[in-house]
Amino acid sequence: MPHRPRRAIPAADLIVLPGSKCVRADLAWLRDQGWEPVIRRHLRYGGKLIGLCGGFQMLGVSIHDPHGIEGPVGTSRGLDLFEMDTTLLPEKRLCEARGRLVIEDAGISGYEIHAGVTSGPALAHPACRLGSGPDGACSGDGQLLGTYLHGLFDTPEACSALLRWAGLDAPAHCDIEALREDRIEHLADAAESALDVDAIVGLLGRPGSR
């Protein structure tokens, strides 16, 4: 994460800890910002928390990096919100995934990309069931959810289910895929209006052009 001055977390119903390429370093940064006690207070007052991929790993008891995958060899203390531990390994898991959330049995799709292997009793209560098997964890009190799945909010069904879980009574329907396609079309239109596309195509067609 980029270095920024300390800033308070605003009042929220839901906090999302996103993925990270340097989980231990980003967890140390989070603590340096003074956010760990704020997260615990958020949970004490009934707030919800989602950890995605690296953010999910942060919710455990510890994160081990015996091979120096993300930095110096060592172990970092996690937030200790899930009874589980993660070990970072050289082999990275990369795959597409589809399945169902435990929340409202909503359909989900996305992908996994991570170098960590997580184990512990918390995984006995998975957050979702993918084609490859159970994934992530949910807390018994219903306040915590963690998963390795990127794209958790991408299907309208899952997005609405998660927002209701977080406390929103009537979430608006949001089709992420349609929104993404619309933004791409806008970008293409802007590029076409600002550039001489015929000239560019002509240059690309010349012998020796790149």
- What single letter denotes the amino acid at residue 100? R
Per-domain boundaries in the chain: 14-172, 175-210
Cα(37)–Cα(73) distance, integer angstroms: 27
Annotated catalytic residue, options 22, 64, 125, 150: 150
∠ CA 179-180-181, nearest 5°, is 90
Asked if residue 83 lies in contact with residue 118, where contact means CB atoms within 8 angstroms, the answer is: no
Residue 138 among the catalytic residues: no
Consecutive 10-residue averages of pLDDT for the chain (210 residues): 64 93 95 94 96 97 95 96 96 92 95 93 97 95 96 92 90 68 77 80 67
- What pLDDT is attached to residue 66? 96
> Which entry of 42, 53, 114, 128 is annotated as an active-site residue?
53
How many whole angstroms separate alpha carbon 127 and alpha carbon 103?
8
pLDDT of residue 170: 75
pLDDT at residue number 5: 58
Residues 6+ apart with CB under 8 A from 209: 203
pLDDT value for 173: 67
pTM of the model: 0.81
pLDDT at 208: 53
Q: Which CATH superfamily is domain 14-172 in?
A: Class I glutamine amidotransferase (GATase) domain (3.40.50.880)
Q: Let me know: does 1 contact 21? Beta carbons within 8 Å.
A: no
The pLDDT of residue 4: 57
Active site residue 174: no
Position 1 scores a pLDDT of 45
Residue 108 near residue 144 (C-beta atoms within 8 A): no
* Euclidean distance between CA atoms 66 and 161, whole angstroms: 38
